[in-house]
Amino acid sequence: MEIKKRSSQHLLGRLFGDRMFFSDLVRIALPMLVQNVIMSSLNMVGVVMIGQLGETSVAAVGLANQVFFLLQLVLFGITSGSAIFTAQLWGKHNIPSIRKVLGLALLLGGSAGLFFSIIAELFPRHILGIYTRDQAVVELGAHYLRIFGPAFFLVSITFCYAAILRSVGEVRLPVAVSTTVLIINMGLSYVLIFGALGLPAFGVAGAAWAGLLSRFIECLALLFFTYYHRLPPAASLVELFGFNIKFAVAVLKPVLPVAINELLWSLGITSYNIIYARMGTDAIAAMNIAASVDNLVMVTFFATAGACAVLVGNLIGSGEVKRAYQYGAWCLRLVIFFGVLMGVVLYAGNPLILNLYKVSAGVIESAHRVLGIIAFLIWLRASNAVIFLGILRSGGDTRFALLLDGVIIWLVGVPMAALAAFVFHLPVHFVYLAAMTEEFTKWSLALGRFLSRRWIHDLTKTV
């Protein structure tokens, strides 16, 4: 009996990791998971609050947030690309170079944030008009964007510092700050949307003001505590921007493909949302509801992918290539296993979740069917997240990731979704399923790349 027990433990260890692996993974992933769960939960609560105002409000705020989503993906490309370097540099404890990489990220990310702020203030109707012809949705969304617009620049600074902190193992500070601020945001949203504490009900504008104030507090708090505790990113202006052209080129060579990857992918996601919005206000409302639930479900896997990137990057930087590959394999197997389990839970709880929304029966039915497809495909999207975000990027294999993740969406996903919507005139859940052919294509190609080990590159040698 004892022999069988040890044999099964040995088999599980080979499949899913040893004690040291789990200790390292939990240490980094758990704070990220807590932050992501709270963030997604509060985002879903925000959608539920807006949902009390009707389909037009849900669609308006959802489309306005697509602009924010686009910026987030651009920033994610810049910061995750930079974190490839900082994770490996931390393996060698090269703090001066880490600070220079942060400075370069701030230069790029801050420029993107400023650009989006200007666009939100000056051209909100033009941007939202790309998504929908419903003028009521456009007007309401434009009002939201004009109020929230300055937050885009603040978010760009927060993103850069938080990403570098996570890559050097300082995960608790960004988690604590973001979690606290998001709770504040939920309280402000309730007060300002519905009117409380003697204030009038501002509706959609109240949600925008709550978001802007929360992002200002978040940025200020993260900078204060980073410099107060003198953490590795706590650099002077000279340390941040004292890099030369040679250093910038060495860093940008693997970082730019990540940024371009995220830009192409985010534009692809934007195209999906344009397709859904062009199908009608009910279709985009259903997709916004499904997306809020989907974000909550996927947080575990994105946290695992983020932790995987830090661990694998640190190991490659310290020269432990074989162990880096093993950690990547264990992470991939874990998310596939738990992805299947999570899909079963989501499918069973689908009706209970949708009872929270006060929208039409047609919107609920469409959201129910989309969530059923999401439940079936969680394992696939989770494994793609770990391969692309946690493994290929941490190994510096950014050009291959660009070709697969940034290009496949345009060659496969967007054309299939457009055909389903505008040629075959299928309902929104079938259009979503057509878009997911992108995930199957990427997975089949990326898995072979991982197994080949050609994705492993020590980037610290270039700086």
What does the pLDDT look like over 366-390, one tens digit per residue?
A: 888 989 999 999 999 999 989 988 8
User: CB-based contacts of 164: which residues, under 8 Å, 6+ apart?
Assistant: 79, 82, 83, 86, 98, 101, 102, 105, 232, 233
pTM: 0.67
> Rounded CA gap, 403 and 400, in Å?
5
Burial annotation 278-316 (CB, 10 A radius, 16+ → b, else e): bbbbbbbbbbbbbbbbbbbbbbbbbbbbbbbbbbbbbbb
| Mean local confidence (pLDDT), 379-406 | 84
- pLDDT for 8 equals 43
Point out the least confidently predicted range of 29-38, 89-98, 106-115, 416-425: 29-38
Amino acid sitting at position 374? I
Q: Is the pLDDT of residue 40 over 60?
A: no
For residue 419, name the pLDDT band (cuts at 50, 70, 90): very high
**pLDDT for position 454:** 87
106/160 Cα distance (integer angstroms): 6
For 198-215, write each residue's pLDDT tens digit. Answer: 777 777 778 888 888 888
The per-residue pLDDT for range 281-293, each reduced to its tens digit, is: 788 888 878 887 8
- Asked whether the predicted pLDDT for residue 9 surpasses 60, the reply is no
CA distance 82 to 28: 18
| pLDDT at site 14 | 57
Mean pLDDT of 379-402: 85
| Half-sphere exposure of residue 260: CA atoms within 13 angstroms, side-chain side | 14
First to last CA, the chain: 55
What is the SS3 string spanning the chain? CHHHHHHHHHHHHHHHCCHHHHHHHHHHHHHHHHHHHHHHHHHHHHHHHHHCCCHHHHHHHHHHHHHHHHHHHHHHHHHHHHHHHHHHHHHCCCHHHHHHHHHHHHHHHHHHHHHHHHHHHHCHHHHHHHHCCCHHHHHHHHHHHHHHCCHHHHHHHHHHHHHHHHHCCCCHHHHHHHHHHHHHHHHHHHHHHHCCCCCCCCCHHHHHHHHHHHHHHHHHHHHHHHHHCCCCCCCCHHHHHCCCHHHHHHHHHHHHHHHHHHHHHHHHHHHHHHHHHHCCHHHHHHHHHHHHHHHHHHHHHHHHHHHHHHHHHHHHHCCCHHHHHHHHHHHHHHHHHHHHHHHHHHHHHHHHHHCCCCCCHHHHHHHHHHHHHHHHHHHHHHHHHHHHHHHHCCCCCHHHHHHHHHHHHHHHHHHHHHHHHHHCCCCHHHHHHHHCHHHHHHHHHHHHHHHHCCCCCCHHHHC
pLDDT recorded at residue 144:
83
65-100: burial string, b at 16+ Cβ within 10 Å, e else: bbbbbbbbbbbbbbbbbbbbbbbbbbbeebbebbbb
Q: Which residues have C-beta within 8 Å of that of residue 261, sequence separation ≥ 6?
A: 77, 398, 401, 402, 405, 406
Confidence class of residue 405 from pLDDT cuts 50, 70 and 90? confident
- Compute the C-alpha angle 398/33/402, nearest 5°: 15
pLDDT at 7: 45
CB 131 within 8 A of CB 59: no
